[in-house]
Amino acid sequence: MVFKALPYTLKFVLFVYRLLVKIHKTRKKALKRTISNTHGSHFKSQTLISSVQTSDISQKTLVFDVEGTLLRSSSVFPYFMLVAFEAGSLLRAFVLFVLSPLLFVVDDMLSIKIMVMVCFFGIKKDAFRVGSSVLPKFFLEDVGLEGFDVLSRGKMKVGVSKLPQVMVECFLKDYLKIDHVFGRELKVFGGYFVGLMEENNNIKNRINDLFEEQEDVKVCFLNKACHGKFFQENDIQQSNKGFESYVVSEQEKKAWRILPKEQYPKPLIFHDGRLAFRPEPLSMLVMFMWFPFSILLSIIRIIVAITMPYSASIPTLVFTGLQLKLSNNNSTQKSTSQDHKQHKGSLYVCNHRTLLDPLYLAFGLKRPFIAVTYSLSRMSEILSPIKTVRLTRDRDQDGKMMDKMLKQGDLVVCPEGTTCREPYLLRFSPLFAELSDHIVPVALDTHVSMFHGTTAGGLKCLDPFLFMMNPDPLYRVQFLDQVRGVTTQTSDANTTRYDVANNIQSQIAKTLQSECTRLTRKDKYLILAGNEGFVK
């Protein structure tokens, strides 16, 4: 009886399956017709660049998917890794790295939810600054030139992102001049992120509110996935607005060029963070494998630099991978002979790359220096193999202190007052111009492959250690021709201390192929850390 009934059961199951498939296809077609009729929109099968570059979109509002139509890379893992490493800890970054194989298996939305939980859980909302200090640099280096050219021609630009709002808002608004940014909001409890996101409806409602304020707006969607994800059925109530949808193919994105730095709407002068590379999964694997060895190597390098004389420490440090390139040090000999007649040491004025600037000058010339600093951690003072003197930011008191130090030996000063990683020079404080008639400008440049040896928001006592943890850090030291100061004995009546400072700044900038700015130490720390940069 059972075996006789089995064929009828199979036929019934097969009949139900076919019926369900037919109903599903019918509803899918009906849904497409409903969307098309409701919005009055028409989808274009052409790719973004080939179809939009020749059309007039200057009077249209462009709604675009940030990850689909602006960024060249299709992976958002590196940006979450930056949040985990910079805002969290090394342990949090390692957890995210361990979960990376799983993230590539599950669907896109679930992977983002996992990364949000790992990266944001327990992070204080008011202390989160990675979105404005670290992420913009990496986002900008991933922007496609062709996609950005199209967006820049729109009347109003609206960016929609699947990433949390706190990660993308500063990058899009401040650096790319996007008018409105809609990302996922994060849930907060007691002032801390709980690692959960609000639903998509939150984005839809915010965009609807924006469009309700606009009259006769023509919206051009630059990514079909963006339309399907956020604008289904009756999400947009104003049916009299026409919509055009363009598709960006992955093949086309692979051919996009990187947006040149010269075309940034706002130049990237300041950025923070320790990682000097884009943290893709394979790069992070290399970093985690290197990390234990780098700690040991950093300790060895520091011990050698502190304890050994220059004749022994220099070749030993070179053997460990440290690189130092000197050029044009003839001017240092001239300045030494003339300054000694005034019973003063030589005054070296350099741009500021890391806390190790004076130390590398000492290694290059094989003689000790006295370094003046505006703020230095107690740990760095203890470990420094050369004498360091703190300045007070009181002009008269600092001038007397620096003049006293010059009478004791060679003096190094960094008039910028803080470090700058990008090819820009901050405003030079002119106090040094009144201390000596014979000033030697020094152009410094560094290259690191793994860790930055500077920070604005992190622990500054770790700066020398992080720099020494790089496999082969490089320092370039270029001595320029002497510049006369404005002391009372030989000063030119038509030359001021500001003229001397600006002249030296421009010479160093020209040597380094950098750009002079009027920004100061205070500007940098207010942007990156929300304080004026005092080290407690």
What is the per-residue pLDDT for 481?
92
Are 213 and 301 contained in the same domain?
Answer: no
pLDDT for the residue 50: 66
Say whether both 192 and 311 belong to one domain: no
- Regarding whether 218 and 146 lie in a shared domain, the answer is yes
Question: Does some domain include residue 16?
Answer: no
Full-model pTM: 0.85
Q: Apex CA 461: angle with CA 125 and CA 285, to 5°?
A: 70
Residue 34 lies in a domain: no
Number of structural domains (the chain) is 2
Last residue of a domain, one of 224, 243, 263: 263
Same domain (yes/no): 359, 222: no
C-alpha 301/C-alpha 457 separation (Å) is: 25
Strands 192-197 and 243-247 come out as unpaired
State the amino acid at position 374 in one-letter form. Y
CATH of the domain at 245: 3.40.50
Query: Counting Cβ atoms within 10 Å, is residue 330 exposed (0-12), middle (13-18) or buried (19+)?
Result: exposed
**Per-residue confidence (pLDDT) for residue 16, from 0 to 100:** 52
* One domain for residues 157 and 92: yes
348 shares a domain with 211: no
CA distance 135 to 429: 30
147 burial (CB, 10 Å; 0-12 / 13-18 / 19+) is buried
Do 244 and 305 lie in a common domain? no
Q: What is the Cα–Cα distance from 479 to 346, expressed in whole angstroms?
A: 13
Q: Is residue 198 part of a domain?
A: yes
The Cα-based distances of 529 to 134, 224, 306, 424 in angstroms read 11, 39, 31, 19
Q: What is the predicted pLDDT for the residue at 267?
A: 95
163 and 84 co-located in one domain: yes
Q: Is residue 357 part of a domain?
A: yes
Would residue 33 count as lying in a domain?
no
The answer to whether position 3 is within a domain reads: no
Predicted confidence at residue 238, as pLDDT, reads 43
pLDDT at 74: 87
Euclidean distance between CA atoms 359 and 373, whole angstroms = 13
Cα 106 from Cα 446, distance rounded (Å): 41
- The Cα–Cα gap between 248 and 156 comes to 20
Residue 234 lies in a domain: yes
Say if 272 falls within a structural domain: no
Give the separation between CA 77 and CA 112, rounded to whole angstroms: 9
Mean pLDDT by 10 residues, the chain (536 residues): 47 55 50 39 56 75 89 94 97 97 92 96 95 97 92 90 95 95 94 91 76 66 59 44 71 89 95 96 97 96 92 93 84 50 79 93 89 78 82 84 89 93 95 89 96 91 94 95 76 78 96 95 90 63
Which pairing describes strands 474-479 and 439-447: parallel, antiparallel, or unpaired? Answer: antiparallel
491 and 397, same domain (yes or no): yes
User: Is there a single domain that holds both residue 363 and residue 317?
Assistant: yes
The domain containing residue 248 runs over which residues? 44-263
Domain end position, chosen among 263, 283, 302 = 263
* pLDDT of amino acid 15: 59
State how far the Cα of 139 lies from the Cα of 72, in Å rounded to an integer. Answer: 10
d(CA 96, CA 93): 5
Do residue 202 and residue 301 come from a single domain? no
Q: For residues 249 and 373, state if they share a domain.
A: no
- CA distances to 221, 257, 310, 511 from 47, rounded to whole Å, are 12, 16, 62, 44
Identify the bridge partners of residue 479 per DSSP, sorted by sequence position. Answer: 442
